[in-house]
Copies of this chain bind each other. A is one copy, B any other.
Amino acid sequence: MSELEKQIQIYYDTNKIIKAYHLAFYLAGWDSETGCPIGTIQSRSDALGTLSELGFKIRTSKEYNDAIDYLYEHREELDPVLKHEIIGQKEDIEDTKKFPIEEVVELSKLENEIHPVYVQAKLASDFNMFKPYLEKMIGFQKRKIEYISKDNQFNNYKGYDVLLNSFEKDMTMEEYDKFFGLLKEKLVPFIKKVTAKKLDYDREFTTKVYPKEQQAIMSEYLRDVMDFDRNYTILRESEHPFTSGNGNKDVRITTHYYEDCISSSMLSIIHEMGHGLYELHVSDEIDATMSGGGASMAMHESQSRFMENMIGRSKAFWDTHYAKLQSIFPEQLGNVKEDDFYKYMNEVQCSLIRTEADELTYPLHIMVRYEIEKKIFNGSVTVDELPSEWNRLYKEYLGIDVPNDKAGVLQDIHWALGSFGYFPTYALGSAYAAQFYNALSKDVDVDKAVRSGNLKEINAWLKENIHKYGSSLDPKDIILKATGEEFNPNYYIDYLINKYSKIYDIK
């Protein structure tokens, strides 16, 4: 066995152990989210802490790190998947090494403190309560930028770009500015035209009750439509919908049924199945490595939003499946025209809360957050000014007044988690989706495929062009391979303006 083979073996053997620990955390997380006894969460934290220490020891063992160093030195001799993986691992290790141990200890302390304070502050709609902790967190982010950008052998990113790159590889302010600039220029005036109008349809059905048991029947029907393989997936209920996966043979989604709203659970299930299909379709060879899962947050979000918005809210989809929905809810929908239901599924309204926003106004919510984060890291806004800056931007882009901080600057948990640079990936995901949609349309008659009643053909294209690679390629490379060009936000703008011009009859 050559030294290279030996080091590869060490790397693979250690990954096997890391994956075994990962399974334990995956199962514990799923169990916590889907109904373990409330009182056990505290009692088992010791055991989880022990497993976490054991996993940490393995990941940081000299043998493993030496193997990664050796393989990084010899990266040109590796197959492309392993080479890509080792570069990522090496970069992670080098980044981690740059943090002084005092910083790590202090951050861990802050993370423990900030979460309950954030929850309380949001409940009380009191930004001042949260402020000192947020200041500390932002301070840490600024030092993080300094640590990582100093003597960086992998890239030259500075400032906020360091954070943006950590969530979406090689996406920087330069590219996001172009993207959000276009949104501001084209979308803000268009949305003003749209929201000046009101869709004309009878809203009585939106006030009816849709019992959970019947909604669950529709969920199972949608699993068939989406070709979401029951052998490797389950659907459960939880407080907030999410997708959880452990490799391409175990993907779990949840939903939450609201009996006063027929659209919520259907759209969230379609959204989560979009995430889930990505995980399921990673090729077995890639799944066996550490390059499984999705290529990035934005790539993942592109797949869920593609399914939710471009398929699940499309005319073709409801032309095909509305009769089924009517048959499940004959009393509530029996006399409701499909066209009215379609309008309801695509109604646009400027609103306060990001997570409840419609497809068209959603990116404006992200734009507000992106602009604020930019200002935080170029020093042109203080933490004190965040609420007023937030409210000013909501007025400017969405035309609405923010009544309090709970519905304003405190609405999202991301900053409390230290996730700065994360928000833009949400909008980016939708834009990727539109570009993929355009490429898909050249190979597949999407309208016909949707009307076939089953998404097999569309899924096959997504698998072949995106999903099968897992995270073995960078997002930019996947986009280039799948669409033949670099990321281009115009597809997204065109898609939105085209779709909503029709629905709102705007010339």
What residues make up the interface of A, taking CB atoms closer than 8 Å to B? Answer: 16-17, 19-24, 27-28, 30-31, 35-40, 42-44, 46-48, 50-51, 54, 229-234, 246-247, 249-252
Contacts and interface: CB of A to CB of B under 8 A. Distances in A.
Contact of A19 (B27, B36, B47): B47
B47 A20 contact: yes
Ordered nearest first, which 10 A-B pairs have the shortest CB separation? A40-B250, A43-B249, A24-B24, A39-B231, A20-B50, A27-B27, A23-B47, A39-B232, A20-B47, A20-B51
Given A24-B24, A40-B246, 7 more contacts: A16-B47, A23-B44, A37-B232, A37-B252, A40-B232, A43-B247, A54-B54
Given A31-B31, A44-B246, A23 B37 contact: no
A27 to B, nearest CB: 4
A48 to B, nearest CB: 7
6 contacts: A23-B51, A24-B28, A37-B232, A37-B233, A37-B249, A39-B229
A421 B232 CA distance: 39
Contacts of A251: 37
A36 B247 CA distance: 14
A419 to B, nearest CB: 27
B231 A37 contact: yes
A21 B24 CA distance: 9
A462 B37 CA distance: 23
Nearest to A229: B39
Given A39-B231, A231-B39, A232-B40, A54 B250 contact: no
Contacts of A35: 234
Contacts of A36: 234, 250
A249 B40 contact: yes
A43 B22 CA distance: 14
B37 A234 contact: yes
A404 B31 CA distance: 43
A36 B46 CA distance: 25
Contacts of A22: 47
